[in-house]
Amino acid sequence: MKALLFFLGLSFAVGLSACGGSPRESSASRNVTAPDAAPTSSTAQPTPAATPEETLPKIVAFGDSLTAGYGLAPKESYPALLQKMLDADGFKYEVVNAGVSGDTSAGGVRRIDWTMDSGDVRFVVVELGANDFLRGQPVAETKKNIAEIIERAKSRGAQVLLAGMYTTTDAGRDYEEQIQEAFRSLAREHGVVLIPFFLEGVAGRDELNQEDRIHPNAEGSKIVAATVYRYLKPLLEKEQKK
């Protein structure tokens, strides 16, 4: 297991800049910009009419560099690929890339509320925790933070998919088991869908990762997107029938 997951470690130690993006850039930018950012002009401008993209319900991909798409072109990030899958199957949603490289579960708590302000958010895919585990943070603290993120998203009417992650350290088998149980219990306690391992089929495979053996390459990102979609699609179909 440790050999499988070692490739993740360095990515969360250096606080890399977010490189992912949504194929609909206006929403993606809105979610990775500080909520109190000042406009470039002091003169108020007329509010433009909403575009079709702005009126679509949103699916927010909320996470760290693995969501942001570090090292990839914006169109190769998993949220961008997920958008293509939705479009191909006729689902009318806009995927918003709210990935920030180097983010922790505590950072996620601080930004979840204004991220949810992007519009009519129906679903949130929460992918956080690896940075916490690299630093040896108590699993109970990470679990508490992720629980708060889930509940804040749910309080705004969104359904949550929780992406499971494994430890990136040599903290021992007990620590690994605590992490796995934390994600399972979060899903049970908060009634959300669990993606058991976000990097299923990609972790530890050189041909599916960038040269740093840390982040998925374009081919690996396709697998990540397909994994997320496998758990998301049944929820979309259920929503469509309402």
Which residues form the catalytic set? 65, 212, 215
* Buried b / exposed e along 146-179 (16+ C-beta atoms within 10 A): bbebbebbeeeebbbbbbbbbbbbebeeeebebb
Distance from C-alpha of 21 to C-alpha of 96, rounded to nearest angstrom: 8
Distance from C-alpha of 221 to C-alpha of 196, rounded to nearest angstrom: 17
26 backbone φψ class: left, alpha, beta (φ>0; ψ -120 to 50) = alpha
168 within 8 A of 134, measured Cβ to Cβ: yes
Q: Give which of 163, 157, 22, 159 is closest to 82, Cα–Cα.
A: 22
**Cα–Cα separations (whole angstroms), residue 208 to 7, 9, 214:** 12, 16, 10
Distance from C-alpha of 122 to C-alpha of 139, rounded to nearest angstrom: 28
Task: Quote the distance between the C-alpha of residue 127 and its chain's center.
Answer: 4
Residue with tokens 């690994």: 176
Q: 139-155 and 173-190 are packed helices; what angle lies between their axes, rounded to 10 degrees? A: 20
